Amino acid sequence: MASKAATKRLGKESVLMEKDPPPLCYARPKDDNILEWHFILRGPPDTPYEGGEYWGQLLFPSDYPFKPPGIKLQTPSGRFQPDTKICTSMSDYHPGSWNPAWSVANILIGLLSFMCTDEMTAGSVMATQRERRTLAAKSHAFNVAQRKFTLIFPDYAGPSVKDLPNMSRPPNVATTEPSSVQPEETNEANDSPWSWWYPACSRQN
């Protein structure tokens, strides 16, 4: 059960999400559980995820915002293992690095930025850019075949993918251009303006 602080904070964040959603991101809580949020990310232009629609969950603890949420992606992406918690500095893998001032919007923009790198962490998978583009093209069909997605996002469950309320590109989302360099040999994540967000444990993988 959500604490009064969590209910108040998440209620305010829900209102803000509807009023001013972040670029390429959208989220809403379940009607019967404010601690379980579902989100959609759209793949940024010039990345292997372009055109993709990625559905996932933020699983907030009862004492949010004093502790971070768990983060999962359900849609196969070639970047994260479906239905598996993702290790980031904003997730419950690293409660010591959590800042209560961070919002749902911060978490989603950070996740999208991290998705567009090849930094490995718990919950990550390896795939080629071609495989990721193929999965991006199939992502909407996967989502609408999931009953939970259609119940939570009936307005996005039509036969074709629908734009999110804010389709502008976040200024700090890193891109991964086609390259033959292997992920472990690139400095791409370290060069990103969002590198502070990447999990410390990823350096060990």
Measured at the alpha carbon of residue 171, what is the angle toward residues 84 and 16, in degrees to the nearest 5? 70
Query: Residue 37 — φ and ψ, nearest 5°?
Result: -105, 150
From the candidates 25, 87, 116, 201, give the one annotated as an active-site residue: 87
Report the distance separating Cα 6 and Cα 197, nearest Å. Answer: 23
Contact 34, 11 (CB under 8 A): yes
Residue type, 184: E
Measured at the alpha carbon of residue 70, what is the angle toward residues 67 and 76, in degrees to the nearest 5? 160
Report the distance separating Cα 100 and Cα 191, nearest Å. Answer: 26
Task: Give the DSSP H/E element, type plus range, for residue 106.
Answer: helix 104-115
Q: Residue 116 catalytic?
A: no
- Which residues are marked as active site? 87
